[in-house]
Structure 1
Amino acid sequence: MMDNTAQQKVQKFEEFVDKRLKPDLVHAVAERSDLRKNIEALQNNEVASLRTLVNLGSEVYVQADIPCTRSICVDIGLGFHVEFTWHEALEFIRIREARLASQVEEYTHLIASIKAQIKLVCEGIRELLQIPV
């Protein structure tokens, strides 16, 4: 019974990593990579002002004039945005990508540890019941 419960926990962790963390990581890295490329393009081309299209939702766009591009608002999660300079935004992106990758790695190690414990418990039960390998 304990073995089945542990296996269910491992399966839930694996599903969480595979269905939530890994796709979140891929999505966040792609978004941050695009943001990084855009910021670097602004810096390299010394763009002081900008005219762009902004998605209001449901694929409805509006044209926007940005008079000063020296600062940028970045989504930091939970619907909050923070105004950063280009340099600060690039540093935030680097830290955020590293943290997301670290979370995936932590869960992967946790899953491996739980699997090892399950194997150990199963081996102990097999020995106690004197079941041949």
Structure 2
Amino acid sequence: MDNEIQQKLARYESFVNEGLRKDLKDTLDARDTIYDQISEYLKLAKDIEVIKDNGLKEMKTQVDLGSNFYVQAKIPDTKHIFVNVGFGFHAELTLDEALEFIKKKEVHLQKKAALFTEKASQIRAHIKLVLEAMAEIMKLDRTPGPRSFNV
């Protein structure tokens, strides 16, 4: 294999490893973050259903202050809750309003996750295409070229 072809292959390999694979990881991480948000909203919906089904007027619970550090909290009135509606804003909603918001938010987040999944599939296809091109270059380099005969 001559030096020029080796340099081209090294550039392609660098493009795959430093560009495409990094983009793929970032895309999958973003999608996983969205799935985590969906999970949190579904947990909240389940908790709201428990409150409604049991007719709880007040309750005691554990609140995460961050880094999995929990403290006990007493909720004197369960008619309204504060829900993270995005961009750092929280809205005070009734339980029914919160459930309706969660349904809409879940649909929105599922669509967003699907976009990231599609983007990840495209990046995987690009990686496969570049790797196949590299294999073809290596195969062509090993194949003897057409021979000319003097007649």
Fold-level similarity (TM above 0.5): yes
TM-score, normalized by length of structure 1?
A: 0.67
Q: CA deviation at 1:115?
A: 4.9
Mapping for residues 43-54 of structure 1, pairs under 5 Å: 43-54=52-63
Cross-structure match for 2:24: 14
Q: 1:81 aligned to 2:90?
A: yes
Partner of 2:34: 25
Cα deviation, 1:9-29, whole Å, max 9, x if unaligned, reads 43233101333322x234223
- Tell me, yes or no, if the aligned pair for 1:53 and 1:63 is still in contact at 8 Å: yes
Report the CA distance shift for 1:106/1:54 in structure 2 as closer, same or farther (over 3 A). Answer: closer
2:45 is the alignment partner of 1:41: no
Match of 1:63 in 2: 73
Query: Closer, same or farther in 2 for the Cα pair 1:5/1:96, shift >3 Å?
Result: farther
Distance 1:18 1:110 in 2: 9
Kept after mapping to 1: 8 A contact 2:58/2:74? no
Corresponding letter in the other structure for 1:27: D
Rg (Cα) greater in structure = 2
Report percent identity of matched pairs.
Answer: 27
Cα RMSD after superposing both structures: 3.5
The structure 1 segments of at least 4 consecutive aligned residues displaced by more than 6 Å after TM superposition are: none
Tell me the CA shift for residue 75 of structure 1: 1.9
Deviations 1:28-74 (A, max 9, x none): 233222211110111112222333343444625143242x2121101
Letter in 2 for 1:15: K
Q: Contact 1:73–1:81 (CA<8 Å) still a contact in 2?
A: yes
Unmatched tracts of structure 1, length 5 or more? none
> Greater share of strand residues, 1 or 2?
1
1:101 Cα shift? 2.4
Q: Which runs of 5+ in 2 are unaligned?
A: 1-7, 144-151
